[in-house]
Chains A and B, each alone.
Chain A
Amino acid sequence: MTLLNKTTAELQSLLHNKEITIKELTEETFARVAKTDDKVQAFISTNEEKALERAEQLDNEPVENRGPLFGLPVGIKDNIVTKGITTTSASRMLEDFIPVYDATVVEKLNQAGMVSIGKLNLDEFAMGSTTETSAFKTTCNPWNLDHVPGGSSGGSAAAVAAGEVPFALGTDTGGSIRQPAAFCGVVGMKPTYGRVSRYGLIALASSLDQIGPITRTVEDNALLLQAIAGHDEKDSSSSSKEVPNYIEHLTGDIRGIKIGVPKEYMGVGVGEDAKNAVLEALKVLESLGAEWEEVSLPHTTYALPAYYYISSAEASSNLSRYDGVHFGYRSEDAKSLDEIYRKSRAESFGRDVKRRILLGTYALSAGHYEEYYKKAQKARMLVAQDFANVFSKYDVIISSAAPTTAYKIDGEPDDIVTKYMGDILTTPINLAGVPAISVPCGFSNGLPLGLQIIGNHFDEATIYKVAHAYEQATDFHKRTPAIWEEK
């Protein structure tokens, strides 16, 4: 393994000077996946034949026509549809579903000249925080194979951390990019709601879902977001706001940047190691000329219940399309149309998916709608206003990306409230629709910790600026798990 240790700029220079070809780089990527993925289990499927064919074609493209990501390998979370390539969302329901079109982000990766290596594991329909609810496999944390990679984009974060691919796409509804990025010691960005088209994303909760990049460095992350961001007429919730040049903002100069640190994010339920890592990171940022103060997001404690009502309600509606008739799993012993619906869903959805469908249907039912769903939407407004208040005075908000390091496999609590508490630091961000990144900020017992940097709507550029300056002043992103060295 040699090539994947290189930075994106180094790889491009090798390609430009014809020291390697895109085909060789692609072959090495598959060799790497073949060697490592037996242990990590990040990929649900790979498409070597198609990828090598494409790599050969790309090699013919003149160097002057190539952008910064041209010819580089990328993995795609398996809830993003890919034309002609099985897209399962890690559910038995879609085990043999072959989409007839590409998601807009996939088209954009193709336009950028990237080579898709395969589809990455996730919690079933992106519902979970450990990737254990996948119907197909349990992905392991590359830093310690007895631990989970986080979720739901666990396959994406683990593949990048294990050095299988330098770039991956994840999706984030309540923390599903940032928490696995934190658990795996990589960089994960959830963009502003509307920054990236959701066309072709298998919906979990449509008012919260966003697709975003997972990479090893902040610079790579900015390059990948640059490639996928922008308005799409196929997703009317995507924004027509201009996409800034993110790389231009990676100046290292963060003098005068004002940071708010919410006291609620440093309180009950957040582990000491996570809190200490944030305090250490603030010292680094201060030494670079940024200023920080404690602030308050007073409705934080209401975000989690509001999030679970809203996301489950939207999920129950989105998942009603899986009826066993049009596509997806169909029960074999259904004797009537009604039984096709009920049995197909019962036999192919996992327990966590059923639980959320039931909670969502309950919250939307006549007699409960006002009491639960509408109340949650009102609480959402208060949570969003908290952020608006802080962003009127501060450039970014900083916290830990997760309350702890990665859990042990099978170690997640059974009690659903305790389980959902793991999402307290990430769900408010989705409710408000603002962007946030996780960057590596330390280790505890050999497992990574992530620093969450939250920005105002459509201000990913400032997040990247701060994240990059912090990254360059620390060496956490340069450390690699032992699995990198294994022959």
Chain B
Amino acid sequence: MTKVTKEELLAVADRAMLALTDEEADLFTEDLATFIGYADKLNELDLENVVPMTHALQQINVMREDVERDVLDRDEMLRSVKEHQNGEIKVPTILS
């Protein structure tokens, strides 16, 4: 069975920008190991010459005319922003 260690899981959580509690880390380590162990059955398949399927429909280069049109209103969009000032989104200081 595929082993997933807690360190690996925490590294994945770090990439996914998710702070985890210790309890969550243990739980998800076990869950991932269980799932991956089960999904290892995909190794039974001979996939050598199989093309990966990325989409249900094969459409290529869907284009439209580049025409000017109304866009969403800035004030309306800012209504869902927690903190903003002069039409810009506010975040904590990033340079100190």
* Chain B residues whose CB sits within 8 angstroms of the CB of A330 once the complex forms: 82-83
User: Whole-angstrom distance from the CB of B84 to the nearest CB of chain A?
Assistant: 10
* B interface, size bucket: 35 or more
Tell whether, in the assembled complex, residue B80 and residue A98 are in contact, meaning their CB atoms are under 8 Å apart.
yes
* Chain B residues whose CB sits within 8 angstroms of the CB of A362 once the complex forms: 4, 8, 12, 32, 36
If A326-B89, A337-B91, A346-B18 touch, whether A382 touches B45 (CB-CB below 8 Å) is: yes
Q: Tell yes or no: A305 within 8 A of B by CB.
A: yes
A323 vs B36: C-alpha distance when bound (angstroms): 28
If A302-B45, A337-B92 touch, whether A327 touches B56 (CB-CB below 8 Å) is: no
Q: Tell yes or no: A389 within 8 A of B by CB.
A: no
Name A342's contact: one of B18, B52, B56, B79 (CB within 8 Å): B18
* Chain A residues whose CB sits within 8 angstroms of the CB of B39 once the complex forms: 305, 308-309, 372, 376
A237 vs B3: C-alpha distance when bound (angstroms): 38
Tell whether, in the assembled complex, residue B80 and residue A433 are in contact, meaning their CB atoms are under 8 Å apart.
no
**B interface majority secondary structure:** loop
If A358-B28, A377-B54 touch, whether A306 touches B34 (CB-CB below 8 Å) is: no
A345 vs B19: C-alpha distance when bound (angstroms): 8
Tell whether, in the assembled complex, residue A100 and residue B56 are in contact, meaning their CB atoms are under 8 Å apart.
no
Tell whether, in the assembled complex, residue A379 and residue B18 are in contact, meaning their CB atoms are under 8 Å apart.
no
* Chain A residues whose CB sits within 8 angstroms of the CB of B83 once the complex forms: 330
Considering only residues 333-353 of chain A, those with a C-beta below 8 Å from chain B are 334-337, 339-343, 345-346, 349, 351
A207 vs B20: C-alpha distance when bound (angstroms): 29
User: Whole-angstrom distance from the CB of B29 to the nearest CB of chain A?
Assistant: 9
* Chain A residues whose CB sits within 8 angstroms of the CB of B92 once the complex forms: 334-337, 339-340
Q: Tell yes or no: A381 within 8 A of B by CB.
A: yes
Tell whether, in the assembled complex, residue A100 and residue B9 are in contact, meaning their CB atoms are under 8 Å apart.
no
Considering only residues 26-71 of chain A, those with a C-beta below 8 Å from chain B are none
A207 vs B24: C-alpha distance when bound (angstroms): 29
Tell whether, in the assembled complex, residue A415 and residue B19 are in contact, meaning their CB atoms are under 8 Å apart.
no
Name A378's contact: one of B19, B51, B82 (CB within 8 Å): B51
Tell whether, in the assembled complex, residue A97 and residue B72 are in contact, meaning their CB atoms are under 8 Å apart.
no
By a beta-carbon cutoff of 8 Å, the part of chain B in contact with chain A is 4, 8-9, 12-13, 15-20, 24, 27-28, 31-32, 34-36, 38-39, 41-45, 47, 50-57, 59, 62, 64, 72-73, 76-77, 79-83, 89, 91-92, 94
28 contacts between A and B (CB under 8 A): A100-B80, A193-B56, A207-B56, A239-B57, A302-B41, A302-B42, A305-B35, A323-B17, A325-B89, A326-B89, A337-B92, A342-B19, A345-B18, A357-B16, A358-B32, A359-B31, A361-B12, A361-B15, A365-B12, A372-B36, A375-B42, A375-B43, A375-B45, A379-B47, A381-B52, A417-B38, A430-B56, A433-B57
